[in-house]
A and B are shown apart, each in its own frame.
Chain A
Amino acid sequence: MTTQTIDPSLRHQRREQALMTLLAAPAVLVIVALVVIPVGWLAAQSIYDNGFTLEHYRRIFTEEVYWRSFALTFRIALMVTLLTLLLGYPVAYAAAHAKRPWNVLILACVMLPFWTSVLVRAYAWLVLLQRTGVANQLLERFGLITEPLAMVHNELGTVIATVHILLPFMVLPLYSTMQKIPRELMLAGASLGGGPLYSFLRIFLPLSLPGVVAGLTLVFVLTLGFYITPELLGGGRTVMISMVVSRNVELYAQWGAASAVGVVLLVCVLAIFAAVGRIIPLDKMLGQK
């Protein structure tokens, strides 16, 4: 009797599963075509050069050039990440607490850079920061400096522009996390005797941490792959790993040499996501509830 009543629902479930699989098939195909195949090809290239070879990897792990670039890239990523957090946290806080038209306005200002290309923004920073740029001219006019400051064509310029470009990736996850923190919690904190700073540190900050971790991870990972900004604003000295990839294409004229660097970078990124994923789930990190 009981088996008879259960059977139809089970069959129904199975049919639904089959339907789901069918519906998901195009998406899976797209992912295979756009992600799996290129990445697989990349990996294959990195170990194949007229036969199996680990030569490209040997070079990465033995030549100082790579170590220096990886170190520099990670250092810049770290600086950029911390600066975006420092700048982005108050902005996200303001947006999460502002009333209706203002929060939209704040977010729109943050998103504005998305509507111009990275290239245009890099040139805009050049115009602002170079020796004869707007910033230096103003500083000089107000007598704050006598010699123009070297704000661009170095690591500083790269960091400034990268922070600007990646700020939205910090602000958005922070904002979406902060928005979900009930207002009463801070009121409760105050009513229970917590001063504004104490309540912030003990209540708001810990509850916003998932957003912080998400923002840190996104910005860090994105910085690792930056190319145009350091190329244009780094003055040639700021050799990030993406530039080594491009140089390898030119120098060794083999995709393999570049692919290997790409694969190592990809492994780094996946490792970071895996490590962070243990703290907060990935879907949460990318903004959904």
Chain B
Amino acid sequence: MANIGGERVEIRSASKHYGSVRALDDVSLDIAPQEFVSLLGPSGSGKTTLLGILGGFIQPSGGSVHLGGRDVTYTPPHKRDIGIVFQNYALFPHMSVGENVAFPLRARRLPKSTYAEKVRGALAMVDLAGYEERGIGQLSGGQRQRVALARAMIFEPRLILMDEPLSALDKQLRENMQIELRQLHKRLGATIIYVTHDQREALTMSDRVAILKDGKLVQIDRPERLHDHPANAFVASFIGEATLLPVERVGSDSVSLAGTVLKSARPIAPNGELVLAIQTEKLLIEDGSGSPERNRLEARVTDVVFQGESLRVFLALDDGTPLSLRQPSHYEAARRIPPVGGRLALSLHPQDTIIVPKAGA
């Protein structure tokens, strides 16, 4: 299957109200052709609603949707040419794999002679060559997922929507599929909008990730930007493995954490309550080797948990404020952790000292 290119997607002030519930509240998004964008957010944040509005299953209460510059707000789903992979695949149980995959061709009344060839191509692409005659019931979860994918791609849509497509798979399969999906995306070049609960999945796969909360778009950014420049405490808490600690503003570039002054290399909001977001991997055990401008802290070890490739060390500041850090589980690193109850000197580089407004936590 050739690279068919992607569709530009513009969502302008889209809202959806169910009575007093605002499932989606004034969301605008611009998605470039060929982009892979994930929608990430807690349960009930409006991800499926947004996808439904894009797919045409849900009429927005306000706003508009444009595909490739075309206003499709009132176009019925079957005329939008969007490939959709549903959360539980939505394969047709009474049809064979081949019939499922050929459904879009048949619905479009394409010449029958082309079916077999196209179906073979689509199945080959998802590594299911020769599965045409199989029944849906005879497939494993991963295979079903791939059939759904082949079916959504066979008509070469320029936009593909996926609603938690991997959530039903076990970890191993899930990670394999993540890689396959990325490769497929590269090859096809279609725009993909991908709903997930799993921040790790979102970060590894996407060009950009949109964070939703209570129907509102909180932030949309590249994964590393989300990680390093969270727009607020909510994003910071949602991404990575952060500890959020309330801090006082001391100057334009410094805050006070329980009496200890910390410098930040990043701009600090001029007013409003602030929180410090410390990602576990960024808090280091002080060994005297860090850069001179580093912030320094002291804490007591409260627990050490072995987690395979790394150790998670739980700490408490003098006033009891909890913290944690991660150490690789190799001997040299583990050796530096004192036993539980022991004191530990810590360092945090100003570049890693992320201060965000508390609002939106």
Which interface class (under 10, 10 to 19, 20 to 34, 35 or more) fits B? 20 to 34
Does A87 interact with chain B (Cβ within 8 Å)?
A: no
A213–B55 Cα gap in the complex (Å)?
34
- Residue B108 CB within 8 A of the other chain: yes
User: Contacts A198-B107, A202-B103 hold; do A191 and B84 have CB atoms under 8 A apart?
Assistant: yes
Looking at the assembled complex, report how far the CB atom of B95 sits from the nearest CB atom of chain A, in whole angstroms: 8
Indicate if the CB atoms of B76 and A190 lie closer than 8 Å.
yes
- Chain B residues, Cβ within 8 Å of A51: none
Within 8 A of A (CB), among B5-59: 55-57
Answer whether A207 and B103 are a contact pair too, CB < 8 Å, given A190-B78, A193-B78, A193-B81. no
What residues of chain B lie closer than 8 Å to A199, measured between beta carbons?
78, 107
Q: Which B residues lie within 8 Å of A206 (CB)? A: 94
> Is B243 among interface residues, defined by CB-CB distance under 8 A?
no
CB of B57 within 8 A of CB of A207, answer no
Given contacts A191-B82, A193-B81, contact A185 B92 (CB under 8 A): yes
The interface residues of chain A lying within 8 Å CB-to-CB of B360 are none
Cβ-closest chain A residue relative to B99: A202
A188–B77 CA distance with the chains assembled, in angstroms: 9
A182-B108 CB under 8 A given contacts A192-B151, A192-B152, A192-B155: no
Give the docked Cα–Cα distance between A207 and B91 (Å): 12
Cross-chain contact B104 with A193 (CB below 8 angstroms): yes
A187 at the interface (CB under 8 A from B): yes
CB-CB under 8 A for A192 and B76, given A182-B90, A207-B94:
no
Q: A184-B88, A185-B92, A188-B90 are in contact. Are A195 and B78 (CB under 8 A)?
A: yes
Residues of A within 8 A of B155 (CB): 192-193
Contact partners of B90 in chain A: CB under 8 A: 182, 184-185, 187-188
Find residues 161-206 in chain A having any chain B CB closer than 8 Å to their own CB. 182, 184-185, 187-196, 198-199, 202-203, 206
Q: Which residue of A lies closest to B86 (CB)?
A: A184
The interface residues of chain A lying within 8 Å CB-to-CB of B189 are none
A190 to B83, CA, bound (A): 10
Asked if B111 is at the interface of the complex by the 8 Å CB criterion, the answer is no
* Cβ < 8 Å to A, chain B residues 122-147: none
Residues in B whose Cβ lies below 8 Å from that of A202: 92, 103, 106-107
B308 within 8 A of A: no
Which residues from chain A contact B104 at a C-beta distance below 8 Å? 192-193
Report the separation of the CA atoms of residues A38 and B107 in the bound assembly, to the nearest whole angstrom.
Answer: 55
Query: Does any Cβ of A come within 8 Å of B93's Cβ?
Result: yes
**Closest chain A residue to B77, Cβ basis:** A190
Query: Contacts A187-B86, A189-B103 hold; do A194 and B94 have CB atoms under 8 A apart?
Result: no
Min CB distance A255 to B, Å, is 48
By a CB distance below 8 angstroms, the chain A residues around B87 are: 184
Contacts of A194 in B (CB 8 A): 78, 103, 107
Is A192 within 8 A of B86, CB to CB?
Answer: no
For B106, give the chain A residue with the smallest CB separation: A202
Chain B residues within an 8 Å CB radius of A184: 86-88, 90
Assembled-state Cα–Cα distance A182/B136 (Å): 15
Encode A119-152 as 1/0 by CB contact (under 8 A) with B.
0000000000000000000000000000000000
Closest Cβ of chain B to A53, distance in Å, is 51
Contact partners of B103 in chain A: CB under 8 A? 189, 192, 194, 202
Cβ–Cβ < 8 Å partners of B106 in chain A: 202
A222 → chain B closest CB, angstroms: 28
Contact B55 A187 (CB under 8 A): yes
Distance between Cα atoms of A67 and B151 in the complex (Å) = 54
A184-B86, A198-B107 given; A191·B55 CB < 8 A = yes
State how many angstroms separate the Cβ of B94 from the closest Cβ of chain A: 5
- Tell me the complex Cα distance, A193–B103, Å: 8
Q: Which of B87, B94, B152 has the most CB of A within 10 A?
A: B94
Q: Which residue of A lies closest to B105 (CB)?
A: A193
Complex: A69 Cα to B107 Cα, angstroms = 47
**CB of A121 to closest CB in B, whole Å:** 37
Report which of A182, A189, A191, A192 forms a contact with B88, defined as CB distance below 8 A: A182
CA distance A192 to B56 in the complex (A): 12
Whether B107 lies near A193 (C-beta < 8 A) is yes
Closest residue on chain A to residue B148 by CB atoms: A188
Pick the most buried of A184, A195, A198: most chain B CB atoms within 10 A of its CB: A184
Specify which of A182, A185, A191, A207 is in contact with B77 (CB 8 Å cutoff): A191
- Whether B88 lies near A190 (C-beta < 8 A) is no
CB B326 to nearest CB in A, in angstroms, measures 40
With contacts A206-B94, A207-B94 taken as known, whether A190 is within 8 angstroms of B57 at the C-beta atoms is yes
Q: Which residue of A lies closest to B110 (CB)?
A: A193
Q: Can you give 11 contacting A-B residue pairs, CB < 8 Å?
A: A182-B90, A187-B90, A188-B84, A191-B83, A192-B103, A192-B104, A192-B152, A192-B155, A193-B81, A193-B104, A198-B107
Which chain A residues have a beta carbon within 8 Å of chain B's beta carbons?
A: 182, 184-185, 187-196, 198-199, 202-203, 206-207
Q: Known contacts A184-B88, A191-B56, A195-B76; can you find 15 more A-B pairs with CB under 8 A?
A: A184-B86, A185-B90, A187-B86, A188-B86, A188-B90, A189-B78, A189-B103, A190-B56, A190-B57, A191-B84, A192-B104, A192-B107, A192-B155, A193-B155, A202-B103
